[in-house]
Structure 1
């Protein structure tokens, strides 16, 4: 079964017997067998025929409508899919099972951050990068032994501060200077890119969690509340470095993003302007559409990495004995 991602703008999806035809400007750009489809995600402005929607409902195939930033406008689901069956499993999770998953998530985040720095270190040796890599190794070991969520947050916070103190060493574009992470508001261009990139990724994960029938507001690491989608905040941790940080390094070092033209300063902070957001989103979608080899050895778009992890956490909630394994950069 596969997930269909429609991120090109202006597409038209229709049904011909058991075949979904994806058209653009009257040209057929893709064909997908309907019985093999698990779900359909529409990013931005594309259309589906009523016949296709009806067939998806009949086959229990949900359809999700999102903005290009990943904000979920809504979904079309069959009636029997409209009830939260998994929420009680999430709420009844034992503390020890919750702690194990939280440890795995934090250690994966630290390892992925370390991998980003190691890649840069292999290109050009740097003493500060090596010292940070050693620090992250130590903090990861401590996180794997933590006996409380509070201690985990301490190690996670220390690792993030250490990682971002060295992250600026990875830029070779003199127009972008970065010393530390600042969020509200972002203090400079790199922080603006990080904040925007994390928000886009967060939106996408939230939508996928909803699509799998999970409750985004019950997680393992972050505190659950009616105003905080804790599970989304949990799952984003393992993807920050590999998807957002690495993309920002590419955009800056390849001079795709311009430090003067693509940002605006207002209310004491720095933000991407319309042109900068457009550049980032185009690069993000292009990267997420790239075909990679998944764990089963099949070629899938990078989008599928997110869905694989959502499905893994779903299986964990059903069967906590099989603990959750986060995504690790290779």
Structure 2
């Protein structure tokens, strides 16, 4: 559930409500797994207790669309063995390198898949495809991250060819200096919290990461996994919104940088949610799964790897 207006979350008996001015809206708590607050939302203590009991994560974003924090339930899937093994794989140089390398191989593959898709549509992208294909992912963590940086840099340079409008010079985050940077920052924040919510459904600890360094102020494993899915979920959403004129100049405002306004956020969120709900037949499971569930499967694969059940191979688009 996405809340883009100001209001109050409160509980009455065993029902959750969102109150905005004089309107009280009932929230189907058993039909949601997370709540994302993009407006100023007050969570009453009764509502907070109810949400934690139901295992629902509440994510908060500031007015610029940046993630600020979460109301996170106590861990319901708790395995000391998994956390110990996860930490062991971070502390062991070779084990960490293997996983970090796999993350970036997944990013490289999915970026190339996206570029080749638009190349088939007549976009002149051979230069960027060649540069990324030549990128060798090896060495220590800093070298692997440098390779990742070059992959993203080439990908971002291709945006002006893929996109039909808006000029994009380079990636700038705080604050976003143009419309595409604004869309990227907003989309990446959404994906980060989606990954966090999916990790909550596994035994993994979201603070113990392998590519990004663990940090006191962020769930860095969410960053690791989100990067694999950005080309498929965030960037493809942006390309669709811009090229189909669903997002244009009127959906941005200038404050500290260039930011999506409320109408723009609602359009982006709607398309982002559609992308998460898109299904594809899984070659191993032999059934249709959503893009969102693919993220959770990534967590399951990591668990199998750190428990020595099955070597980890990062997600790679097969369609």
- TM bin (shorter chain): 0.7 to 0.9
Pair 1:312 & 2:308 matched: no
Pair 1:185 & 2:172 matched: no
Q: 1:124 to 1:306 in 2, by over 3 A?
A: same
1:85 CA drift (Å)? 4.5
1:225 CA drift (Å)? 2.7
1:291 CA drift (Å)? 2.7
Q: 1:188 to 1:88 in 2, by over 3 A?
A: same
- Residue-by-residue CA offset, 1:176-201 (whole Å, 9 max, x unaligned): 11132111211100110000000100
- Residue-by-residue CA offset, 1:82-130 (whole Å, 9 max, x unaligned): 565522111112321211111111121112112211111111141xx10
Whole-angstrom distance in 2 between the partners of 1:247 and 1:41:
22
Q: 1:300 to 1:233 in 2, by over 3 A?
A: same
Pair 1:207 & 2:203 matched: no
Residue segments in structure 1 that go unaligned for 5+ positions in a row: 1-5, 10-24, 33-39, 46-53
- Corresponding position of 2:8: none
- Residue-by-residue CA offset, 1:299-318 (whole Å, 9 max, x unaligned): 23322111111111122222
- Residues 31-50 of structure 1 mapped to structure 2, 5 A cutoff: 41-43=33-35
- Corresponding position of 1:13: none
- Residue-by-residue CA offset, 1:220-243 (whole Å, 9 max, x unaligned): 111113223221111111101011
SS in 2 for 1:264: strand
Whole-angstrom distance in 2 between the partners of 1:160 and 1:303:
22
Which residue of the other structure, out of 268, 276, 289, is the alignment partner of 2:277? 289
- Corresponding position of 2:94: 96
Residue segments in structure 2 that go unaligned for 5+ positions in a row: 5-24, 38-49, 62-66
* Counterpart contact for 2:108–2:151, Cα < 8 Å: yes
1:279 CA drift (Å)? 0.8
Whole-angstrom distance in 1 between the partners of 2:199 and 2:263:
30
Which residue of the other structure, out of 140, 165, 171, is the alignment partner of 2:157? 165
* Counterpart contact for 2:182–2:258, Cα < 8 Å: yes
Whole-angstrom distance in 1 between the partners of 2:141 and 2:277:
35
* Counterpart contact for 2:57–2:197, Cα < 8 Å: no
Whole-angstrom distance in 2 between the partners of 1:180 and 1:112:
20
Q: TM-score, normalised by structure 1?
A: 0.75
Whole-angstrom distance in 1 between the partners of 2:57 and 2:220:
22
Whole-angstrom distance in 2 between the partners of 1:101 and 1:170:
31
- Residues 181-260 of structure 1 mapped to structure 2, 5 A cutoff: 181-259=171-249
1:42 CA drift (Å)? 4.1
* Counterpart contact for 1:202–1:236, Cα < 8 Å: yes
| CA-based RMSD | 3.2
1:254 CA drift (Å)? 0.7
1:281 CA drift (Å)? 0.6
Whole-angstrom distance in 2 between the partners of 1:315 and 1:192:
37
SS in 1 for 2:73: strand
1:77 CA drift (Å)? 6.6
Q: 1:156 to 1:291 in 2, by over 3 A?
A: closer
1:136 CA drift (Å)? 0.2
Q: 1:224 to 1:67 in 2, by over 3 A?
A: closer
Whole-angstrom distance in 1 between the partners of 2:115 and 2:162:
8
Whole-angstrom distance in 2 between the partners of 1:95 and 1:263:
45
